[in-house]
């Protein structure tokens, strides 16, 4: 457990210090959510209806676009080779890196979400549901995005390509995240069923993301 904790601390420190870009994701999220009313108009009723979806899409884009440096910085300075040669399985390394990345960039999104939800004219229950689904669901986006980051690690400009590759895979997370949120607001539909499926998706993407990203990193190394 000790090397993993050390790795987590290292990743956390690297991404929160100057130049780490941890808060860029939250800033991007703020801007996306601010721009959408300019597109759809300031109708508060409409915004309240599509608000959870806007927050989810904003979080999705912010997560995916912040992932391009997840493995690339380590590859550039050689740390990735050391991590691969270490005794800790690469899959666990990937999981820990994702968790640290999520703590540094995903968690600020979740914390910013209730404030942005006020802009979207959401009711308190809807705000609660949005924050809950984002808190549970954004790690899934990070784990899936890690696959894209690992596949494009050797490319100089992999950021956009990685988003193209991963966005189709994130549809289930988006669907169940938004479904759970809207289910919490509209009366007859149950909240728990889509929410539990969302939780299942997170666990599933943890496994798939860790295995696939580790495999992609190994293949790109030799």
Partner 1 sequence: MPLIDLANPTRFLGFVGRLVPWLTAVTIVLFAVGLYGAFFLAPDDYQQGATVKIMFIHVPCAWLSMFVYATMAASSLGTLVWRHPLADVSMKAAAPIGAVFTFVCLATGSLWGKPMWGTWWVWDARLTSVLVLFIMYLGLIALWQTIEDPIRGAKAVAVLTLVGAINLPIIKFSVDWWNTLHQPAAVFRLGGPTIDISMLWPLLVTALAATCLFVTLQLLAMKNEIKRRRLRTLRLIEASRPHAVAGTPVVGAAS
Residue of 44, 189, 190, 192 interacting with partner 1 (CB under 8 A): 189
Binding mask of the shown chain, residues 129 to 158, with x at each position contacting partner 1 by CB under 8 A? ------------------x---xx-xx--x
Stretch touching partner 1 by CB under 8 A, among 92-100, 104-112, 132-140, 194-202: 194-202
Q: Shortest approach of partner 1 to residue 154 CB, angstroms?
A: 7
Which of residues 165, 180, 206, 210 is near partner 1 by CB under 8 A? 165
> Coil, strand, or helix at residue 26?
helix
Comparing CB distances to partner 1, the nearer of 15 and 182 is 182
What phi and psi values does residue 221 have, to the nearest 5 degrees?
A: -80, -35
Rounded Cα distance, 54 and 97, in Å: 27
Distance CA 174, CA 218 (A): 30
CB of 64 to partner 1, least distance (A): 13
Only one residue has tokens 């508060």, namely 44
Q: Which is nearer to partner 1, 45 or 157 (CB)?
A: 157
Give which of 156, 176, 136, 162 is closest to 67, Cα–Cα. 162
Q: Least Å distance between CB 194 and partner 1?
A: 8
State the Cα torsion 117-121-122-124 to the nearest 10°.
90
| C-alpha 168 chain-centroid distance | 14
Which among 61, 201, 216, 214 is positioned nearest to 139, based on CA atoms? 201
Q: Which residues bind partner 1 (CB under 8 A)?
A: 147, 151-152, 154-155, 158, 161, 164-165, 167-169, 171-172, 175-176, 179, 182, 189, 194, 197, 201, 204, 208, 212, 215-216, 219-220
């Amino acid at each position: 457990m000790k090397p993993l904790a050390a790795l987590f601390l290292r990743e956390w420190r690297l991404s929160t210090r100057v130049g780490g870009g941890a808060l860029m994701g939250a800033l991007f999220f703020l801007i996306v959510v601010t721009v959408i009313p300019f597109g759809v108009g300031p109708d508060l009723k409409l915004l309240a209806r599509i608000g959870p979806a806007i927050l989810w899409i904003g979080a999705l884009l912010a997560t995916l676009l912040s992932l391009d440096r997840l493995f690339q910085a380590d590859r550039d300075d050689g740390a990735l080779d050391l991590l691969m040669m270490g005794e800790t399985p690469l899959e666990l390394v990937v999981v820990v890196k994702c968790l640290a990345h999520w703590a540094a960039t995903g968690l600020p999104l979740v914390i910013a979400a209730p404030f942005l939800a006020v802009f979207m004219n959401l009711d308190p229950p809807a705000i609660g549901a949005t924050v809950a689904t984002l808190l549970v669901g954004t790690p899934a986006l990070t784990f899936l995005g890690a696959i894209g980051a690992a596949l494009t690690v050797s490319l100089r400009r992999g950021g956009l390509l990685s988003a193209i590759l991963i966005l189709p895979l994130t549809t289930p997370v988006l669907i169940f995240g938004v479904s759970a949120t809207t289910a919490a607001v509209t009366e007859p539909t149950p909240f728990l069923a889509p929410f539990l499926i969302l939780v299942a998706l997170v666990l599933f993407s943890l496994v798939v993301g860790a295995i696939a990203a580790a495999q992609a990193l190994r293949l790109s190394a030799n």
